[in-house]
């Protein structure tokens, strides 16, 4: 047999709130967890009648009173006004031999976090449908290409790309940081030009070894050099004849090749390595770089005459940090694509969006795409939360907060830090009781501090 003292110790140590009443609803015992869930002390409960507590708006409904009335176990979802917590209350009547109620045992569990998750899941399909509709409205379709854009800055780039696409002979220079979408813009220009059905050759100038650039660009005749194909080979410019060639990372082109490229652009002819006859070219050139070509000209690493030959029409793509309106639609787009790729159903809670928008995105759209794919793969469950984001997002948000924070009295700073710690602990633990255990304080301390902070906010 368990003695009474040990029994009450066990009830007091329960994670759930527990209170025991007599047959008329008078509270005989309430543990600390129950008092914390209600935002009162044990002394405020014990000896009081349940009906009185209900009338004082401590909680919204009572399973105890209904259990007394019906003489059977009753479960109710109730709202505790002081702590703003939603709880599941299960009252079980203990009957005497004559059928009268001797005691009512009431178990109370915090289900606030569970309700939020269920609500998110309930609304998930509606959110996905709404996001898909928004994405359709933000998609800019040019030929077979597709871009997600909401910002005015990017729409202006797209509109200019549309205009110059039809000017078949104009050389285009696309400028922008890595990952902003220079290659995609080049594809849009091609797909909306008279050359859309002709060859489109894409070259990364920085990826070709310097000693092979000329033969890759212009081809070579048989026997032109040791190891050359005995039949000779077409170069990339010759392969693109009649169509378009995209010279990505043009700033990485060696100086000796810049001279040869300039000659090709001027004469519209090429000569294979080891060859003696020139080949006429009809090729539209689109170049792109993430480097400052004007600064390179000043440093002597890029030819000024080639720069002006390439820069007939220029398109400057703004970085993602300057068009933050595009971040949310891009997140939704990449999330949809990645879910389809991995056959998942992940969604991102809205409270994580601030962290995305506060981050500077040095890798631009490409980095955003990679981050979303990483989160889909690494996040357990179907909901991507703030704590699932990489550390760099937490640091960015903390730095932004630090920059904007005014200098306050030490007492106020400490109180705000305490409130932030309490709020974070409750979110992670799901209840005041568990949060108190993690923080090493009594649950009533947390309730009191939360109420004090609320009162201070209302005064402001």
Whether 378 is in a domain gets the answer yes
> Which of 59, 76, 110 delimits the end of a domain?
110
**Whether residue 166 sits in one domain with residue 309:** yes
pLDDT at 373: 94
Integer Cα distance of 356 and 19 in angstroms: 45
* CATH code, domain with 285: 3.40.50.300
Could you tell me if 52 and 97 lie in one domain?
yes
Specify if 381 maps to a domain: yes
**DSSP characters over 185-200:** HHHHHHHTSTTTTS-E
Assigned domain for 437 exists: yes
- At 141 the pLDDT is 43
Same domain as 217, residue 89: no
Domain containing 421 equals: 406-459
For 337, the token pair is 């694509």
Is 368 in contact with 320 (CB distance < 8 Å)? Answer: yes
- What is the spatial distance between Cα 150 and Cα 135, in angstroms, rounded to a whole number? 9
Tell whether 255 and 313 lie within a shared domain.
yes
Mark whether 334 and 412 lie in a shared domain.
Answer: no
Q: Classify residue 301: in a domain, yes or no.
A: yes
**In DSSP terms, which residues pair with 260 in a beta bridge?**
none
**Are both 412 and 391 inside the same structural domain?**
no
Domain closes at, from 370, 403, 436? 403
For residue 278, which of 270, 288, 286 has the smallest C-alpha distance? Answer: 270
Strand partners, 271: 278
Long-range CB contacts (within 8 A, 24+) of 111-118? 111/77, 111/86, 111/87, 112/85, 112/86, 112/87, 112/430, 112/431, 113/427, 113/430, 113/431, 114/430, 115/86, 117/383
pLDDT at 280: 93
271 and 370: one domain?
no
Provide the 8-state DSSP code for 206.
G
247 and 340, same domain (yes or no): no
pLDDT tens string, the chain, 460 residues long: the values are 667 777 778 888 888 899 899 999 999 999 988 888 898 888 888 999 999 999 988 899 999 999 999 999 999 888 888 888 888 899 999 998 888 999 999 999 888 766 665 555 555 555 455 555 544 544 444 343 457 777 888 888 888 998 999 898 789 999 999 999 899 899 999 988 999 999 999 999 989 988 889 989 998 887 666 555 667 788 899 999 999 999 999 999 999 999 999 999 999 999 988 888 889 999 999 999 999 999 999 999 999 999 999 999 999 999 998 988 888 888 888 888 899 999 998 888 766 777 888 888 999 999 999 999 999 999 998 888 888 888 887 665 554 444 444 555 666 666 767 777 787 777 666 677 777 777 777 777 777 777 777 666 655 5
Same domain for 169 and 290? yes
What CA–CA distance (Å, rounded) separates 232 from 223? 7
Please check whether residue 364 lies inside any domain of the structure: yes
Same domain, 395 and 445: no
167 assigned to some structural domain? yes
User: For position 454, what pLDDT does the model report?
Assistant: 67
Co-location of 191 and 235 in the same domain: yes
Domain count, the chain: 4
Let me know if residue 385 belongs to a domain: yes
Distances in Å between the Cα of 457 and the Cα atoms of 289, 415, 427, 436 are: 51, 12, 20, 22
Q: Is 449 in the same domain as 336?
A: no
Q: Is the pTM of this model over 0.75?
A: no
Helix (H) and strand (E) counts for the chain? 20, 18
Residues 326, 317 contacting (CB under 8 angstroms): no
pLDDT at position 405 = 46
Residue 371 is predicted with a pLDDT of 93
CA atoms within 13 A on the CB side of 459: 6
State the DSSP H helix or E strand holding residue 384, giving kind and residue range, or none if neither.
Answer: strand 383-384
**Contact present, 346 and 384 (Cβ < 8 Å):** yes
Q: Is residue 123 part of a domain?
A: no
Pairing of strands 101-110, 139-142: unpaired
Last residue of a domain, one of 54, 82, 110: 110
């Amino acid at each position: 047999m368990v003695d009474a003292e040990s029994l009450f110790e066990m009830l007091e140590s329960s994670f759930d709130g527990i209170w025991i009443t007599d047959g008329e609803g008078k509270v005989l015992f309430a543990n600390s967890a129950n008092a914390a869930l209600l935002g009162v002390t044990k002394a405020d409960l014990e000896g009081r009648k349940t009906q009185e507590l209900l009338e004082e708006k401590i909680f919204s409904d009572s399973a105890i009173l209904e259990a007394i009335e019906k003489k059977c176990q009753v479960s109710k979802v109730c709202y505790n006004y002081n702590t703003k917590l939603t709880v599941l209350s299960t009252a079980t009547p203990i009957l005497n031999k004559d059928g009268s109620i001797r005691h009512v045992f009431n178990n109370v569990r915090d289900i606030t976090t569970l309700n939020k998750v269920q609500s998110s899941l309930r609304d998930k399909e509606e959110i996905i449908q709404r996001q898909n509709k928004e994405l359709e409205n933000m998609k800019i379709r040019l030929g077979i290409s597709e871009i997600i854009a909401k910002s005015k800055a990017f729409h202006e780039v797209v509109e200019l790309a549309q205009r110059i696409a039809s000017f078949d002979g104009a050389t285009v220079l696309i400028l922008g940081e890595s990952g902003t979408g220079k290659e995609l813009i080049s594809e849009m220009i091609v797909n909306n030009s008279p050359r859309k059905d002709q060859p489109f050759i894409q070259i990364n100038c920085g990826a070709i070894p310097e000693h092979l650039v000329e033969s890759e660009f212009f081809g070579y005749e048989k026997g032109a050099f040791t190891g050359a194909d005995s039949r000779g080979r077409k170069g990339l410019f010759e392969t693109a004849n009649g169509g378009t060639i995209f010279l990505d990372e043009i700033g990485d082109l060696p100086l000796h090749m810049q001279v040869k490229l300039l000659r090709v652009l001027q004469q519209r002819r090429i000569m294979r390595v080891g060859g003696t006859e020139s080949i006429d070219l009809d090729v539209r050139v689109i170049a792109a770089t993430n480097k400052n070509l004007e600064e390179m000209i000043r440093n002597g690493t890029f030819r000024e005459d080639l720069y002006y030959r390439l820069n007939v029409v220029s398109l400057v793509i703004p970085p993602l940090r300057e068009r933050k309106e595009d971040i949310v639609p891009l997140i939704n787009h990449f999330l949809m694509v990645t879910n389809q790729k991995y056959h998942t159903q992940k969604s991102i809670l809205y409270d994580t969006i601030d962290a995305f928008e506060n981050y500077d995105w040095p890798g631009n759209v490409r980095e955003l795409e990679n981050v979303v794919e990483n989160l889909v793969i690494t996040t357990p469950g179907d909901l991507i939360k703030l704590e699932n984001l990489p550390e760099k997002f937490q640091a960015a948000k903390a730095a932004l907060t630090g920059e904007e924070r005014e200098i306050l009295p030490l007492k106020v700073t400490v109180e705000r830090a305490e409130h932030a710690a309490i709020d974070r602990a409750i979110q992670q633990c799901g209840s005041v009781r568990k949060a108190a255990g993690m923080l090493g304080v009594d649950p009533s301390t947390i309730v009191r501090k939360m109420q004090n902070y609320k009162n201070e906010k209302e005064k402001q």
